[in-house]
Chains A and B, each alone.
Chain A
Amino acid sequence: AQSVTQLDSQVPVFEEAPVELRCNYSSSVSVYLFWYVQYPNQGLQLLLKYLSGSTLVESINGFEAEFNKSQTSFHLRKPSVHISDTAEYFCAVSEDSSYKLIFGSGTRLLVRP
Chain B
Amino acid sequence: NAGVTQTPKFRVLKTGQSMTLLCAQDMNHEYMYWYRQDPGMGLRLIHYSVGEGTTAKGEVPDGYNVSRLKKQNFLLGLESAAPSQTSVYFCASRQDHEQYFGPGTRLTVT
The answer on A and B forming one complex is no
